Amino acid sequence: MHPEQEYLAFLAEGRFMLQRSKGSGTYVFHPRVAVPGTGEQDLEWVEASGRGVVYSTTVVRNKPPLENYNVALIDLAEGVRMMSRVVDMDPTQVWIGMKVIANVSEIEGIPAVVFTEERT
Amino acid sequence: MSFPRGKTAVVGAATFGIGAAPGYTAAELLAKASLAAIADAGLTPADIDGVFAMLPQDPFCALSVPEYLGIRPRVVESTRTGGSAFQIHAMWAAMALDAGLCDAVLIAYGSNQRSASGGLVSSGAAPFPYEQAYKPRNPPSSYALAAALHMHEYGTTREHLAEVAVAARKWAQLNPDAFVRDPLTIEDVLAARMVSDPLTVRDCCLVTDGAAAVVMTRADRARDLAQSPAYLLGAASATWFKNISEASDLTVTAASEAGARAYAQAGVKPADIDVAELYDAFTINTILFLEDLGFCPKGEGGRFVANGGIAPGGRFPVNTNGGGLSCVHPGMYGLFTMVEAVTQLRGNAGARQVQGAKLALAHGNGGTLSSQSVAIFGTEETL
């Protein structure tokens, strides 16, 4: 397994994948060669559920004409946390505890997992 | 082996080029501070046989700094944990001195980041695509995420954050060496340009040049040197992650662990500390570290700093030189907290002197709240 290369290759295909230990079921993010702390190397790729909750949020401020944008930490349903952006809304209106859904998109031409507010 | 409490001391301390020092290289700034610290101790470069040095842009600074000073050290060290490195240097220096591996250690830092680049210089960190893809404006965005959660969980306000900046400025106004001494109000901080919510540019540290250095020896030798020794009573560090997305709880830092160990080594408790020099790269730092180092309960940091709580004349003196927010922040600030702690214990702090200061805590922060380090210094009577 080449974790970083494979993760980024999945993203380029439009797939958001997480690592999971076959033995313990522990999810791992960011991608690694082993489960942090325990060292289990029996990792396999599984499709992420895409469900998450905003753990914290900030707005990166820019001088016009550059736009402000959101940067957030997202707690995924699988129990791991990742940095991302909550998009398709006013970046100042993202709130801690907000439920969000993942999409594979692009930021400045680079494939990236971003999130939008979960509509119920 | 237990920590050699009080067996070593800072015997020389100096800064150089605080603020703007155009025309100097980082190594030149470091050397100027180092020579001043060595002279302050009543020593010469030939007396130094341990060099613990940090030049951020020079991966081989453990070699280039001794070469520059004309020293062939028996012990070298250049921990790269960011701004927390210097308390870690002090910890290893105490162990090395006590073990007899060397007799006089120079700990030194220099940066010309303001004049050389006109702004922040790259840390040279390894790529981390899992954050870089989202273009956080780091370091501010990482600290902003911690601030936002602290506000959400504990009711900390932007006014509380602003109190930290204003207190630092008021201390800076008492320090002729501080780089920025203009008046600053809560309203000024709140109205300043937002960088990464909830942090404005006034919630962020200065970008300056500057160098600092200290010299450490064993305590028996320290008593025969030029200055009143600042004895190292405890020094510890803790490292929990590198990237802010890997923090398990954004509102609790590794300072809680490092501080507990340093207090245990020193045999003191937070209430015994007379003055605290905390690494205030951002206003949220001071609030987090006041909590994590036991000066107030978790979540109460905002209310602790309110109404001038840590300003001159407040309930507890914090960052008496003006801190990274108003005195100096040349990329890594951790050694400046140690120099100010020593200055306070010597009673040489002039208008900002904390009367009768006997125990001083100097804290370091590295990365994005990642690495935390604590050194506790005391005067002769604390031994």
pLDDT in tens, A58-79: 999 999 999 999 999 999 999 9
Helix (H, G, I), strand (E, B) or coil at B159: helix
pLDDT in tens, B26-83: 999 999 999 999 999 999 999 999 999 999 999 999 999 999 999 999 999 999 999 9
pTM: 0.97
**B119 pLDDT tier (thresholds 50, 70, 90):** low
**ipTM entry:** 0.98
Residue B264 parent element (H or E) = helix B255-266
pLDDT of residue B125: 73
Residue B39 parent element (H or E) = helix B26-40
- Characterize the bridge pairing of strands B359-366 and B275-277: parallel
Q: How far apart are CA B165 and CA B145, in angstroms?
A: 18
Which tokens hold the place of B298?
């978790």
DSSP B295: S
Cβ of A112 within 8 Å of Cβ of B133? The answer is yes
Residue A2 distance to chain B (closest CA, Å) = 15
Kindly provide the b/e burial profile for residues A60-79, where b requires at least 16 CB atoms within 10 angstroms of the residue's own CB: bbeeeeeebbbbbbbbbebe
- Residue partners of B63: CB distance under 8 A and separation at least 6: B76
CB A30 within 8 A of CB A1: no
Mean pLDDT of the B365-383 span: 98
Instruction: Return the amino acid letter for B83.
Output: G
B-interface mutation test, from A7, A71, A86, A92, most B Cβ less than 10 A away: A71
A-interface mutation test, from B150, B197, B369, most A Cβ less than 10 A away: B197
Q: How far apart are CA B144 and CA A61, in angstroms?
A: 12
Tokens 């008021």 correspond to what residue?
Answer: B170
**B121 pLDDT tier (thresholds 50, 70, 90):** low
**B118 pLDDT tier (thresholds 50, 70, 90):** low
Using a CB–CB cutoff of 8 Å, tell me whether B224 touches chain A. Answer: no
pLDDT of residue B128: 93
Cβ of A61 within 8 Å of Cβ of B141? The answer is no
Q: How far apart are CA B28 and CA B55, in angstroms?
A: 11
Residue A3 has pLDDT above 80, yes or no: yes
**Exposure of B6 in the CB half-sphere (CA atoms within 13 A):** 10
Cβ of B245 within 8 Å of Cβ of A61? The answer is no
Structure-model confidence comparison of residues B293 and B2, the more confident one: B293
Cβ of A56 within 8 Å of Cβ of B145? The answer is yes
Phi, psi of B74 (to 5 degrees): -80, -30
Which tokens hold the place of B204?
């962020």
Helix (H, G, I), strand (E, B) or coil at B358: coil
Q: Which residue of A lies nearest to B201 if distances are taken between CA atoms?
A: A61
The angle at the Cα of A100, spanning A22 to A34, to the nearest 5 degrees, equals 25
Q: How far apart are CA B34 and CA A76, in angstroms?
A: 49
- For chain B, state the CA radius of gyration: 19
Residue A48 has pLDDT above 60, yes or no: yes
**B120 pLDDT tier (thresholds 50, 70, 90):** low
Kindly provide the b/e burial profile for residues B84-94, where b requires at least 16 CB atoms within 10 angstroms of the residue's own CB: bbbbbbbbbbb
CB B257 within 8 A of CB B238: yes
Which tokens hold the place of B223?
């008593």
